[in-house]
Amino acid sequence: MPRRSRRSHERARATRRPQRHKDVLHGRGGGHRANDFRCVGCRLDVSAEAPGTTHRNHCPNCLASLHVDRRVPGDRAASCGGRMEALSMSARPDGEWMIIHQCLSCDELSANRIAGDDNALTLVRLAVKPLRDPGLARRVLLVP
């Protein structure tokens, strides 16, 4: 098959129709997929709306997160941006479960509320993880 000359290739490009703007998928108006994200762990497309919490900050499938919040949930003020691994679970006095994440870049710990659509099996596996690995409790509690 003969190769196209550079001139004919440029002519073909000039006669192409320009691609239309897809504001439905990429625009901020209307809220359609505006804040959705792709998980850094399992690559699942995750909706920003989560039952039981106002700020989605982790994947409901694998519980991985990004270090984007500094002090207030949803502030998106952290400059690190590293991947956060789910280490263990904790429970508040009112019975609400929290996921303890650790940033793999700066080693900062954070506690995040679970969401209503989180994978129950993954949550239970995370809750019993300290029973399998006694060194993990030391790491999470920062005991020397």
The model's pLDDT over 1-19, given as tens digits with 9 standing for 90+, comes to 556 666 666 666 666 666 6
Question: Whole-angstrom Cα distance, residue 43 to residue 52?
Answer: 23
Q: pLDDT value at position 105? A: 86
Instruction: Map tokens 């399998």 to a residue.
Output: 132
Which range among 32-36, 110-114, 134-138 shows the weakest confidence by mean pLDDT?
32-36
Q: pLDDT value at position 63? A: 92
Residue 140's pLDDT band (cuts 50, 70, 90): low
Query: Residue 44 has which token pair?
Result: 């699942």
> What is the percent of the chain where pLDDT is above 90?
12
Q: pLDDT value at position 42? A: 87
Residue 119's pLDDT band (cuts 50, 70, 90): very high
Q: pLDDT value at position 13? A: 62
Sequential DSSP letters for the chain = -PPPPHHHHHHHHHHSPPPPP-HHHH-SGGGTTSS-EE-TTT--EE-S-BTTBSS--B-TTT--EES--SSSTT----S---EEEEEEEEE-TTS-EEEEEEETTT--EEEEE--TTS-HHHHHHHHTHHHH-HHHHHHHHT--
Question: Whole-angstrom Cα distance, residue 122 to residue 108?
Answer: 22
Residue 38's pLDDT band (cuts 50, 70, 90): confident
Residue 107's pLDDT band (cuts 50, 70, 90): confident
With CA atoms as reference, report the closest residue to 47 among 98, 57, 123: 57
> What is the percent of the chain where pLDDT is above 70?
62
Give the residue-averaged pLDDT of 114-130.
89
Q: pLDDT value at position 132? A: 76
